[in-house]
Amino acid sequence: MQMTLETLGQLERRLHVAVPKAQIEGEIHKRLAQLAKTAKVPGFRPGKVPFKMVAQQYGPQVRSDVISRVLGEHVLDLSQHSDKAIFEAVWGYDFGSSSNSLGVYMGYLRRKTEVGDEPRLLHTVRGVGYVLRSAP
């Protein structure tokens, strides 16, 4: 995985995170294979469900879980950082308590990670900060 922090202006930064597609796809395939061993689908014995059917039925949720886990491992553990700490780590500057800049950028990140009907990954924990998880 490769992370780069680009300075766009005096107060603006862009964090680029590149995760090899093979790493994500490999983990998804591994998780689906494990799930196929125990999946219960009408008309099939447990462990005998075709992989393609398991991928079709459970693929989006597994993909969301894998992406969440990979981001959680490699990017900031947002649940342990206050707004001020995130400002300092990402922008090198504290915008102050009256700024909504972090909320705006977290909104951008939410829109990029929530595709279609997939569940929310980035949650706000009032008075603490943010947490990255697949369930509320």
pLDDT digits (tens, 9 = 90+) for 23-76: 889 999 999 999 999 888 889 988 889 999 999 999 988 988 888 777 766 655
List, as one string, the DSSP characters of 41-54.
-TTS-TT-S-HHHH
Question: Which residue matches tokens 């008075």?
Answer: 127
- H/E element holding 129? strand 129-132
Are the C-beta atoms of 96 and 53 separated by less than 8 Å? Answer: no
| Angstrom distance (rounded) from CA 26 to CA 29 | 5
Q: What is the pLDDT of residues 85-132, one digit of tens each?
A: 666 766 676 666 666 777 787 788 777 777 777 777 777 776 666 777
Predicted TM-score (pTM) of this structure: 0.50
Tokens of 6: 């680009």
Query: What residue ranges in 19-98 does DSSP mark as E strands?
Result: none
